[in-house]
Structure 1
Amino acid sequence: MGRKGWRNAVNRHDDTEDLDALRDLDSNVGLAPLGGVTEDTGSHKGFGLGVIVEVFTAILSLGNTSNEITPDDLSVGPCQSFIAIDPSIFGDKDAIIDKFSAYLQAIRDLPSVPGKPVIVAGDKEAAAYQDRSANGIEIDDKTLAEVVGIAKRLGIDYAQYVA
């Protein structure tokens, strides 16, 4: 059975009994926003989180908010925002980093599908960085030809930069 407030039908009634409804693309049933659809299940928290995401990704970058995106007009494309926070303004920087690292490790240690470890944002990039630091960066022939052409035009010996 589903948890109350997690799913709702197009008629806005909570639907906790029919788990197969979520698998049926024509059933007009979907996952409710984070926090459910009522205040007693925390809908205001999910709504607030959604607004924060819109502010950081659309408003600060002067892009389209979710309600402004239509299948007919995708001209703005993805919107992004980057924020740097100094953890030391909240307390002991090393303790905060250690706590965050332990939290991410706890997520990684969750049970997973065999052969598919749980990963968090940045894990694939960290593995790629280690691999490329040890083995170099592969460059396809077309890109290498472009690098060679630019280097020749600028009078630079590309060979010292590309092994």
Structure 2
Amino acid sequence: EEFPFVLDCATSITQRGKIEFYDRADKEIPPGWVIGEDGKTRTDTHQILKDLKTGKAALAPLGGIGEETAGYKGYGYAAVVEILSAALQNGKYLKMLSGVEDGKPVPINLGHFFIAINISSFIELELFKKISGDILRSLRFSKKAPEAERIYTAGEKEYLAWLERKDKGAPINQNLQQQIIALKEELGLTQYKFPFEK
């Protein structure tokens, strides 16, 4: 494969960074991503970002809200990640990661865990690569939904975006452009001009 299989995902339907992206674009998030204290879905992006810090809002797990859509599976995955990232190293967890203690901002002491597998202990490396490649190609060329353009495997869209952006740069929405320009002016960096400035 010309690009690696890289599955980088949250155990929730979306991650906080995506909500921040919607906030910078001044858009509401889709229903079902976040629930409030009452257990109902919320879409008020700006307030959600504040309420995530205080526990008045929470990201919905993979599978969504409730057992009918298998939300308990995402909830279970999240618990495994929390245990491996916190309990395994005596780190902070759950609401301790809000970035707020006693009403004051504090550094987020986020834990991590890594697993390394010596593939050749199980199978010859080249054979593993061949079988893995066959699986990924089979997935990409399997029957797609009528409205789907094509089927991607994990890491492929990011690789294609990198190919496009490595020379042209990354797109920045207008709200974020204005925030960057305002910060530049606030810092007195008038000698610099961004490509998106007129």
Tell me the TM-score normalized by structure 2: 0.36
Higher relative contact order (CA 8 A, sep 6+): 2
* Higher radius of gyration, 1 or 2: 1
